[in-house]
Amino acid sequence: MIHLEKISKEYSDGDIRVIALNDVSLTIEQGEFVAVMGPSGSGKSTLMNILGCLDVPSSGVYRLNDRQINNLTAIELAALRNQTIGFIFQTFHLLPRLSVLKNVELPMLYRGVRQRERRQRAIELLKMVGLEERLHHQPNQLSGGQKQRVAIARALANNPSIILADEPTGNLDTNTSIEIMNILTDLNKQGVTIVLVTHEEDIALFASRIIRFRDGQIVEDSLVS
């Protein structure tokens, strides 16, 4: 499903060259649950941006579902993101002026799904995450855990095969974090591939595989026993 071959990513900071990823090769199969760990500046966020087609590598080959990503246009990358990948962020990224229901509908609106169909799908997803009584609330009326549940429902709107979760429990208390991770575990059992960035060892243990980065390279790739 996800195949990186000798991926590098370089940035220029004035006269200084910053190597964010250095010759990374990695395969993630369909249905895996992978946690990505490492200190700040290790390359985790750059990896997620490339996996999510938000950025392109400086060199190397990225194939997603046997499709080479490197040479796609911005429009093609946007379509691929919308159809294949769901994103969950630490800071939720909900639109504050839209209701919970409309936030979840938004990816389907971009895809051209008809109003009745997208509303029904959004309601079903919000029921799945236990927010059927919050459909018409604004994000500022929700707790952090509820906001993340909305974000998960939104990520699932277009039935993606991959969920990329960047520190999804970073702003949550322990009990709420476990609730969110249980939702992700259930999604993985249904066949959704999940790639999770986290700094928390106990959160990483929900995954079946842990990949550790340091200085832009993979230093450990192990299964969770």
Contact 29/190 with Cβ under 8 angstroms? Answer: no
In whole angstroms, what is the distance from residue 120 CA to residue 101 CA?
10
CATH code, domain carrying 9:
3.40.50.300
| pLDDT score, position 70 | 85
Residue 135: inside a domain = no
Task: Look at the chain and report how many structural domains it folds into.
Answer: 1
Expressed as residue numbers, the domain containing 33 is: 2-94+159-223
Residue 194: inside a domain = yes
Residue 101: inside a domain = no
Residue 138: inside a domain = no
| pLDDT score, position 71 | 83
In whole angstroms, what is the distance from residue 102 CA to residue 107 CA?
10
| pLDDT score, position 16 | 85
Which among 155, 167, 202 is positioned nearest to 48, based on CA atoms?
167
Phi/psi of residue 53, nearest 5 degrees: 60, 30
String of DSSP letters for 75-87: HHHHHHHHHHEEE
In whole angstroms, what is the distance from residue 21 CA to residue 37 CA?
14
Instruction: Spell out the residues 6+ positions from residue 26 whose beta carbon is closer than 8 angstroms to its own.
Output: 2, 3, 4, 7, 211, 218, 221
Tokens matching residue 43: 């390359």
pTM comes to 0.93
String of DSSP letters for the chain: -EEEEEEEEEEEETTEEEEEEEEEEEEE-TT-EEEEE--TTSSHHHHHHHHTTSS--SEEEEEETTEE-TT--HHHHHHHHHHHEEEEETT----TTS-HHHHHHHHHHHHT--HHHHHHHHHHHHHHTT-TT-TT--GGGS-HHHHHHHHHHHHTTT--SEEEEESTTTTS-HHHHHHHHHHHHHHHHTT-EEEEE-S-HHHHTTSSEEEEEETTEEEEEEE--
Residue 61: inside a domain = yes
Residue 169: inside a domain = yes
Residue 124: inside a domain = no
| pLDDT score, position 225 | 80
- Tell me the residue type at 20: A
Instruction: Spell out the residues 6+ positions from residue 178 whose beta carbon is closer than 8 angstroms to its own.
Output: none
Residue 63: inside a domain = yes
| pLDDT score, position 204 | 97
| pLDDT score, position 12 | 84
pLDDT digits (tens), the chain, 225 positions: 999 999 999 988 778 888 999 999 999 999 999 999 999 989 999 999 999 999 999 999 999 998 999 888 989 999 899 889 999 998 899 999 999 999 999 999 989 999 999 999 999 999 999 999 999 999 999 999 999 999 999 999 999 999 999 999 998 999 999 999 999 999 999 999 999 999 999 999 999 999 999 999 999 999 998
Report the Cα 150 to chain-centroid distance in Å: 14
| pLDDT score, position 19 | 92
Residue 166: Cβ-neighbour burial (10 angstroms; 0-12, 13-18, 19+): buried
